[in-house]
Chain A
Amino acid sequence: MVQMRVSGLLFLLLATIGAEARAFSQIQHWITDNGARVYFVETHQIPMVQFVVGFDAGSARDPAYLKGLSNIVKGMVEEGTSSMDGDMISTSFDSVGAEYSSGSGRDIAVFELRSLSEEAILDGAIDVFGDVISRPSFPEDAMERVRQRVLIGLKRRDQSPGSVASRVFYNRLYEDHPYSHSPLGEEQTVSQISRQDLVDFHEEFYVGANAVLVIVGDLGPEQARIRAGQIVDGLPRGANPAPIPEVRGLNESVVLNVSFPSSQTHLLMGQAGIARNDPDYFPLYVGNHILGGNGLISRLATDIREERGLAYSVYSTFSPMKEPGPFIVNLQTRSDQAELAEGLSMETVRQFVERGPDQDELEAAKSNIIGGFPLRVSSNGKIADNVLSIAFYGLPLDHLATFPERIKDVSVEQVKGAFQRRVLPGKFLRVRVGSG
């Protein structure tokens, strides 16, 4: 239990700082016989290695009547294979000190194994990891348990006004688009999921053609090829899934008030933003840094927190995904001052869109992003995160190497133009959750 000046940042940093800054230029890439795309970064300073498998199998792939299916599949793969039950699987990781974890969002389902790089230890963990991903048995009893855990998770999420605000925001913004529902699903649909649904989903999406594998750490190129094979060779080739439907977005401003027994009101204001491959990505990235992305010195933090003491946390963010993820301005404040804070932050956004950044603000933001570049690739963990996003979104292999140049090229006019095209405060969705 620690109190911090800015929320979250420390925990981001814990995973951030460390290894070689030049590693990004050395991504080795190959495709396995069954179509899995492998990305390998060799780092030998620490005797450890990370394997990250990503499938285009997030909640955007849930059938509309089975919202939450992708999440249950993700949670169920470690509960049994043809030769092991869940306990045996966990024991085989834990007994060599390997760490298995998994996660899923709207776009991606991710499985990660972190292990010491010693051969004998890897031998113990890798085969099980490969089996878990490619040959899960989905035992019925474990399935009931996982389902119940998800149902509790849904309720627990609804204890938090921030989570409720986010759920309501996505639901309304994306309506019938598959980004609309939470990756956890909904009580009713989660209750209906059957074992056969898991089998079918796994068969369709957990395939070589739909897989990326990132390896970062203390392996030679030959070893990396062998280990990659042990992890993904069990996947059938399969096919790439169909594209996710286009996002329509809102045509007019919408305001939703949700009553919640909290002392603060949570405000989410925004709209559909950008896809990961959007040509305006860099100007919007730099612009948002100035508007509400850069800690306490962004415009929103200055106007809302530093000058008026209205909020602890206030920021804006783009969440680029396969299809346009949202642009969101987020703040929480005591309910009796929510209206004031909402008005002020909307005004800050409007002014920024209308006038763009000042030249010196732009330079300060660029020097922060460029100067901070070594920090983004300074540990195995951070390199793995960056390479996974290159792999999954199909960015060029030199994305990291050219990143500082692309930032440097951004001009005031580009930021202003991009914001005027893409951020339309007059058509924002505004969600207020609280007792105000």
Chain B
Amino acid sequence: MKKSLVLLCLFSVVAACATESARKPAAPDAYEKVLNNGLKVLVKPDTRAPVVVSQIWYKVGGSYEPDGKTGVSHVLEHMMFKGTSTTAPNEFSRIISALGGQENAFTGRDYTAYFQTLEKSHLETAFRLESGRMHDLVFDKAEFEKEVEVVKEERRSRTDDSPEAVTYERFMAAAYTESSYRNPIVGWPSDLEAMRVEDLKSWYSSYYAPNNATLVVVGDVEPVEVFELAEKYFGGIPARDIPGIVDRGERPQSASRRIEVRAPAKVPYLLLGYHVPVIATTKDMEDWTPYALEVAAYLLDGGKSARLHSELVRKQGIASSTGVSYDPLARKATIFLFSANPSQGETVAAVESAIKEQIWIMSEETVSDEELERVKAQIVAGKVYQQDSSFYQGMRLGLLETNGLAWQLGEDIHDRLRAVTAEQVREVVKRYLRESNSTVAVLTPETDAEG
């Protein structure tokens, strides 16, 4: 039922849908309109406060970059605040600030996104400014030269001077040999050194176009009015051919890999990862594999009653912290990643064995109904909690759409997670979390005296 209502909104009169939603509490997740130039506009009403968040998502990010040009998406994101033919550097920020708004931008592996959060009457200003820099950005060489130095400082503080971040960067470069996910979003230092303002110009003219973007608006707004505003400000920007990329996948790994990182650290750190598929890479959208992997991640690391904390931290006392990350919404095949710090007097090797023992148990024995129900209770509750942030709701819509998954999937994901069985979890753990598919990175502290 819910779905047909959404479809109705896509193809028929939008205003009717907006009225419909006012009457029905079970409103569709969002309203969609595609402008003639290909810009997809998604609107999700959230009337709790007189506030609106506007986000624009471009389908470009770290994983689109060829060798030698890593970091270019992120530096371009910084340059997007340096003015157009009608606005001075930082004027965008000053205008939004004077309206009481907040704004920022972020670059991921698969996207570059810009957002403004404002009192609802100012949405038009955000659109006016955002549409300007979609097609009319100025590339001043002097501004670029300053900004790339800012980015180098960003890299130093977030990566180079953080031993665990260096370990993560090295891990990714070891775990992936071909996939562009091996490169850091911020870029390799030598690529940042070599970067020229021309690189940014060409990146901008390749990817910044309405047909390569999704505009997401969440807040106290009428969808039909937002569509009109979008048409007014973005409708005149012509579509462009978006270059195809050589999007290398990762061939199956045949043997385990292992690297060591030495850095001036004080506490050892372990990363252990396995190549896994994601929703976008499973051939059949009904394939339960990524959902079963996500449930496995919850079973291992969803709260302190989950297996890693309960076993490794509380019972065995072998690790002082543990974590699991898996992003089923990524655009390309990704890594199911374990991280841990050993306890005082324990070794990284001992922690690694203890994690692998938990994996082995999960690959041999199905989890109990009680444990599975506990995870599902968290999934159900999590879906409610996320409604408290309209920014997060916007992010989810933008992310799904940008990564090649229809935004409507957002509604279904929780149902699919809840449908996962204990046997499916056992099966994916056995299939993917196996030795020959693993990469290990160990951070070995190196004191000044030793170094």
A21 to B156: give the CA distance in the assembly, Å: 40
Q: Known interface pairs A93-B303, A263-B161. Does A46 touch B387 (Cβ–Cβ under 8 Å)?
A: yes
How large, as a class, is the contact surface on chain B?
A: 35 or more
Contact A48 B106 (CB under 8 A): no
Known: A97-B377, A148-B343, A309-B145. A367 touches B98 (CB 8 A): yes
Contact present for A94 and B377 (CB under 8 Å): yes
On whether the beta carbons of B304 and A312 are closer than 8 Å, the reply is no
Is B26 part of the binding interface, using a Cβ–Cβ cutoff of 8 Å? no
Is A374 a contact partner of B157 (Cβ separation < 8 A)?
no
User: Among B32-40, B260-268, B416-424, B430-438, which stretch is in contact with chain A?
Assistant: B260-268
Contact with B along A19-44 (1 / 0, CB 8 A): 11100000000000000000000010
Measured as residues with beta carbon below 8 angstroms from the partner, the interface class of chain A is: 35 or more
* Cβ contact within 8 Å between B314 and A296: no
Residues of B within 8 A of A377 (CB): 49
Give the interface segment out of B73-81, B200-208, B405-413. Answer: B73-81
Does A19 contact B377, Cβ atoms closer than 8 Å? Answer: no
Stretch at the interface among B86-94, B243-251, B276-284, B349-357: B86-94
Closest to A153 in B: B320
Q: Is the CB of B100 within 8 A of A45?
A: no
Q: Is the CB of A246 closer than 8 A to any CB of chain B?
A: no
- For B46, list chain A residues within 8 Å (CB): 18
Q: Are A152 and B320 in contact (CB under 8 A)?
A: yes
A153 and B266 alpha carbons, distance in the complex (Å): 10
Whether A95 is near chain B, meaning CB under 8 Å from some CB there, is: yes
When distances are taken between beta carbons in the complex, the residues of chain A under 8 Å from B147 are: 309
- Which residues of A73-100 are within 8 A (CB) of B? 78, 86-87, 90-91, 93-99
Taking a contact as CB atoms closer than 8 A, the residue among B50, B265, B391 that contacts A13 in the complex is B391
Do B77 and A5 have beta carbons less than 8 Å apart? yes
Q: Are A18 and B146 in contact (CB under 8 A)?
A: no
Known A21-B51, A367-B100; judge A116-B81 contact (CB<8 A).
Answer: no
Residues of A within 8 A of B267 (CB): 152, 155-156, 159
> When the two chains form their complex, are residues B102 and A152 in contact, meaning their CB atoms are under 8 A apart?
no
Contacts of B157 in A (CB 8 A): 162, 264, 312-313, 332
Q: How far is the CB of A365 from chain B (nearest CB, A)?
A: 8
Is A158 an interface residue, CB under 8 A from the partner? yes
Known A159-B163, A306-B90, A375-B102; contact A87-B387, beta-carbon cutoff 8 A: no
A302: nearest residue on chain B (CB-CB)? Answer: B90
A410 within 8 A of B: no
Contacts of A91 in B (CB 8 A): 305, 374
- The answer to whether B97 touches A370 (Cβ under 8 A) is no
Among A7, A47, A48, A296, chain B packs the most CB atoms within 10 A around the CB of A296
As a 0/1 sequence over residues 94 to 110 of chain B, the CB contacts with chain A under 8 angstroms (1 = contact) are 10011111101111110
Residues 219 to 277 of chain A near chain B (Cβ within 8 Å): 261-264
> How many Å lie between the Cα of A43 and that of B47 in the bound state?
13
Interface residue from A19, A114, A149, A307 paired with B343 (Cβ < 8 Å): A149
Determine whether A285 belongs to the interface, using a CB cutoff of 8 Å to chain B: no
Question: Assuming A5-B81, A18-B388, is B93 touching A145 (CB within 8 A)?
Answer: no
Say which residue of A3, A6, A15, A48 sits within 8 Å of B74 (CB atoms). A3
Cβ contact within 8 Å between A381 and B100 = no
Q: Mark B298-338, 1 if CB is under 8 A from A, else 0.
A: 00001111100110011101001100000000000000000
B50 CB → nearest A CB, Å:
5
Please give the residue numbers on chain B whose beta carbons come within 8 Å of chain A beta carbons, in ascending order. 46, 48-51, 53, 74, 77-78, 81, 89-90, 93-94, 97-102, 104-109, 117-119, 145-154, 156-158, 160-164, 168, 185-186, 264-267, 302-306, 309-310, 313-315, 317, 320-321, 341, 343-344, 370, 373-374, 377-382, 384-385, 387-392, 448, 451
Q: What are 30 A-B interface contacts by the 8 Å CB criterion?
A: A4-B105, A14-B391, A17-B117, A18-B390, A21-B51, A91-B374, A94-B303, A94-B377, A94-B378, A95-B373, A95-B377, A97-B379, A98-B381, A145-B343, A148-B344, A149-B343, A152-B320, A156-B341, A263-B156, A297-B93, A306-B89, A309-B148, A309-B150, A364-B94, A368-B97, A374-B49, A374-B51, A375-B119, A378-B48, A378-B49
What are the 5 A-B residue pairs with the smallest beta carbon separation, nearest first?
Answer: A371-B100, A97-B381, A309-B146, A309-B149, A372-B100
